[in-house]
Structure 1
Amino acid sequence: MSTSDLLTADRIEEIGALGSESPDPAALVAELVGAVDEGRVADPDDTGYALLVAADILVQAGDLADALALTTRAIAEQPDDDAYSRSKRGGLLLRLGREDEGLAELTALRPLLETDPDATYLVDDLAEAGRAETALEWLTAALDAIMDRTRTQQHESEDAQDEAAAMIYGLTQRRHDLREEMGLPHDDYDNLADRLRAASNHALDALDDGPATLLFWPQAEFEALLARWPALADSYPATWDEHRAQTERALADAAGLGAADLGVVAGSVAGLASFAEQAGSDPTDEETLDEYADSLDEVAWPPGRNDACWCGSGAKYKKCCLPRSRG
Structure 2
Amino acid sequence: MPTSDLLTAERIAEIGALEYENTDSAALVAELVGAVDEGRVADPDDTGYALLVAADILEQAGDLDDALTLATRAIAEQPDDNAHARSVRGGLLLRLGRDDEGLAELTALRPALETDPGAMHLIDGLMESGHTETALEWLTGALEAILERTRTQQHSSEDAQDEAAAMIYGLVQQRHDLREEMGLPHDDHDHLADRLRAASDHALDALDDDGPATLLFWPQAEFDALLVRWPALVDSYPAQWDEHRAQLERALADAAGLGTADLGVVAGSVAGLATFAERNGGDPTDEDTLDEYADSLSGTDLRAWPPGRNDACWCGSGSKYKKCCLPRSRS
Is the shorter-chain TM-score for this pair beyond 0.5, marking a shared fold?
A: yes
Residue in 1 that maps onto 2:73: 73
CA RMSD of aligned residues (A): 3.6
Assess if the C-alpha contact under 8 Å between 2:213 and 2:263 holds in 1: no
C-alpha spacing 1:325/1:197, structure 2 compared with 1 (3 Å): farther
Residue in 1 that maps onto 2:34: 34
Assess if the C-alpha contact under 8 Å between 2:252 and 2:263 holds in 1: no
1:245 to 2:254 alignment? yes
5+ residue gaps, structure 2, are 218-249, 271-287, 295-324
Residue in 2 that maps onto 1:293: 291
CA distance in 2, matches of 1:176, 1:74: 32
Q: Percent identity?
A: 72
Partner-residue secondary structure (3-state), 2:268: coil
Aligned-partner residue type, residue 261 of structure 1 = G
Aligned-partner residue type, residue 41 of structure 1 = V
Once the two structures are superposed, residues 276-298 of structure 1 have per-residue CA deviations (whole angstroms, 9 ceiling, x without a partner) of xxxxxxxxxxxxxx9893299xx
Residue in 2 that maps onto 1:85: 85
Shift of 1:185: 2.0
C-alpha spacing 1:154/1:79, structure 2 compared with 1 (3 Å): same
CA distance in 2, matches of 1:155, 1:207: 29
Assess if the C-alpha contact under 8 Å between 1:75 and 1:82 holds in 2: yes
CA distance in 2, matches of 1:115, 1:77: 24
C-alpha spacing 1:79/1:89, structure 2 compared with 1 (3 Å): same
Name the stretch that deviates more: 150-159 or 48-57.
150-159
Assess if the C-alpha contact under 8 Å between 2:139 and 2:171 holds in 1: yes
1:261 to 2:268 alignment? yes
C-alpha spacing 1:104/1:110, structure 2 compared with 1 (3 Å): same
Shift of 1:200: 6.8
5+ residue gaps, structure 1, are 214-240, 264-289, 297-320
C-alpha spacing 1:162/1:206, structure 2 compared with 1 (3 Å): closer
Shift of 1:23: 3.1
Count how many residue pairs are aligned between Structure 1 and Structure 2.
Answer: 245
Query: Where in structure 1 do 4 or more consecutive aligned residues deviate above 6 Å?
Result: 200-205, 241-244, 247-250
CA distance in 2, matches of 1:135, 1:27: 35
C-alpha spacing 1:201/1:72, structure 2 compared with 1 (3 Å): farther
CA distance in 2, matches of 1:134, 1:58: 26
Aligned-partner residue type, residue 160 of structure 1 = A
Assess if the C-alpha contact under 8 Å between 1:248 and 1:322 holds in 2: no
Assess if the C-alpha contact under 8 Å between 1:20 and 1:60 holds in 2: no
**Structure-to-structure mapping, 1:216-231, within 5 angstroms:** none
Shift of 1:127: 0.5
Residue in 1 that maps onto 2:169: 169
Residue in 1 that maps onto 2:122: 122
Residue in 1 that maps onto 2:62: 62
Assess if the C-alpha contact under 8 Å between 1:36 and 1:47 holds in 2: yes
Shift of 1:324: 8.6
TM-score (norm 1): 0.66
Aligned-partner residue type, residue 291 of structure 2 = A
Assess if the C-alpha contact under 8 Å between 2:166 and 2:253 holds in 1: no
Residue in 2 that maps onto 1:311: none
Assess if the C-alpha contact under 8 Å between 1:245 and 1:324 holds in 2: no
Residue in 2 that maps onto 1:238: none
Shift of 1:176: 1.3
1:193 to 2:199 alignment? no
CA distance in 2, matches of 1:61, 1:51: 15
CA distance in 2, matches of 1:152, 1:212: 38
